Structure 1
Amino acid sequence: MGTVGKFQPGQIRDGIAECLSRHGMDGASIGEIEAHMETAFGEAVASSSIRSYLQLNTPGKFERLGRGRYRIADAGLVMTDPAPDGEVELKGKPVYRHGKTRLFRADSLEWLREQPEHSVHGVVTDPPYGLVEYTPTELAKLRAGRGGTWRIPPSFDGHQRAPLPRFTTLSSAELDQLERFFRQFGEILMPVLVPGAHVMVAANPLVSHLVSYALDAAGFERRGEVVRLVTTMRGGDRPKNAHEEFPDVSVMPRSNWEPWLLFRKPVEGTVAENLRKWKTGGLRRISDERPFGDVIASSPTNVKERTIANHPSLKPQAFMRQVVRAILPLGEGIVLDPFAGSGSTLAAAEAVGYQSVGVELDPTYAELASKSIPKLAALPDRVGLVHVDPVGAEASDAVPVEG
């Protein structure tokens, strides 16, 4: 049997929490938790260790239902989040509030199933579009600096680069799983949105076609994509173990852009009618003279922001604030990030004055978000992030390397 000493601090607790979150209000038995832990971590965890976390080490976090059966505390309560004036009432109990921001600790699909129809006006999210990279096993490897699905780049110019998921390693079965996941996500999300609500999803050139197909099949209208111009560490490598033999060859192009897919729930009647009734249907302009554009020159996430929110997929506030602002055409309604991570979307919404709701399953990241949201939201706007006009009037000549 496994022992506590073989695991990182908090790893057993987080694994138990993920297992119980998946089982919902019915909870799980000790045996089911043991099976989940062995699958997640690749080795058994002693029953005594699991019971210690359930009964002693995390008071108030887990609730005993009966002999050998537990659930997340409050998982069985169907409650309405008290909504101050101007806020939308949602089911569940937020684990964190700040200004106009609410954060829920839950499985996003299960949380969405509980929400009332027509309660969200826009979505901006950077989801786990490789899926496997955010399993407990791969997160444990990432946090221990061992890699696994994550590529841990070497330091560059004296700076340690952020980890990157290896999407080229995904199997056919994992790609099929990704497509099924996003179709299910789209189908569950659809009724929660008001007509005309836009959904902006960060993707990757290697898998964006699967995400796009899945959301289209779920009933969303494809409305193009926003191109984030940023040079990353992905691609540009010479053939592995043959770089001297083939010095003029790159296995794949160095990535200089990131796609953010844009979809819309069908409107009721005309766009003007939908705007009058639901406050949605279009995108908010930058100004009277400038519409929101689909190419945005971006810098990598800076060291200050990464110090605040150490998440491998953290995007810079300068970029996030622009796309979040655009998602509510009249500046009214609620923005949802169902894969909140360290809270960068929620912080951007707070910075531009929008109501926002985030959902995060991983307890470590949910705790990080609760600390990082006010700090990220308080950062001043930065110069240097611009939409690229069609004539190329505004563009950055040099974009730093990300990752």
Structure 2
Amino acid sequence: MRSNEEKAALGVEILKNCRNELYSYFPYLDGAFASVSYEAGKGVKGIGTEGNVFYFDPVFLLVGYGNNPEVIRRGYLHMMLHCLYLHLFSNKEQRQDIWNLACDISVEQVIEREALPGLRLPDHPVRKRCLEKLGGRSLSAERICRMLVQGVFSDSLEEMQTAFCFDDHSLWTAQQDAERTARTKSKWEKILAYTGQNRHQKKQKTGTREGDGEEETVTVGKSRYDYRKFLKKFAVPREEVELDTESFDYIMYHFGMEHYGDMPLIEPLEYKEVNRLEELVIAVDTSGSCSRETVQQFLAETYSILSERENFFKKMKVHLVQCDCRIQEAVVIHSEEEWKAYSREIKIQGRGGTDFRPVFQYVAEQKEKRVIRQLKALVYFTDGDGIYPKCRPAYETAFVFLEEGAGMDRVPPWAMKLVVSHEKKRAGDSRI
């Protein structure tokens, strides 16, 4: 009879063994594998994590691994993807059981597409029906959550939970130190960004799919940063002529006015240092596959971000380019007033095939002419179906989608994939 300490030690060895076996399939996940430790206890049912430690019930691991090692190995990857996709930190207003199930289905669809021999599960009719309902698409937990609420799936929540659940999610919602949770989330955001770059360098050939060359392994290169965070990431410090009320000393001002008769001893600074975007290229795919409505939704969301005073300098420079297979229009916006005037008169031009390369060539030409000087990011709104450049540019590039779909799989690994969340839309965004 093994002691509790021996069982716990064996459990740790099982998880380390799973990690090593998964590394042979996914070497680009090395940063993620190195970011968790293992510990018995914490009162979890079976196994669970809060983003730093995989807590486990030793009996659960010993029995499960003895019966079918592939189940535990796959479960390890299941939990790792929860961390990478930041499922642990999503503050959803949705019912917790529905959100938990959506997260489980989301990571299981990713694993299922790999069809790797070491990650197989016994056939399950509910699992099969649910995954078929997704239609082979790569859908986020948020999207699947909406499908569950809408009753898209024919099976009950209990049946689907039995088919897809592996780990205990109770640690996701447990009361924890807010500062530590923020640090953990920041850690996984950085790991996700690193993994996306690492995947391009260490990807393994795992099979083929019709229309592509080779099928890449787990799609973890997709960023969970939202569109707003992406734009704000490239803000740079700059002084602007503006009263700096934050550094204004009201005590000295009041003292002078009271004792020296309308003579303040200190005036507020007439300039302040701000962090704002300085230059940006926004390209819009105006091919036949992108409707006017979807383009307008994207521009509305973009305007809602740019119109915030802290985002852009008073003298900004936004290159707004319409392109299908060639540049249809290129306009430079220098102020919020110019953006409003342009958006009121905007006409979608193009409706041909999609070729992304002319926009990158346009940027190169404008940089050579020194019209573009401080570009740090290019944002390209599209449905993803087109010809991409082969080489990575010297600036960050993000292809932005209104919703997740098959087109996102075509985005090259050097670019970011972002989704403009429908939940973030506000009534005021319809102003264009």
- Please say whether Structure 1 and Structure 2 have the same fold, judged by a TM-score greater than 0.5: no
**Of Structure 1 and Structure 2, which has the larger fraction of its residues in helix?**
2
Larger Rg: 1 or 2? 2
The normalised TM-score by structure 1 is 0.27
The normalised TM-score by structure 2 is 0.25
Larger relative contact order (CA 8 Å, sep ≥ 6): 1
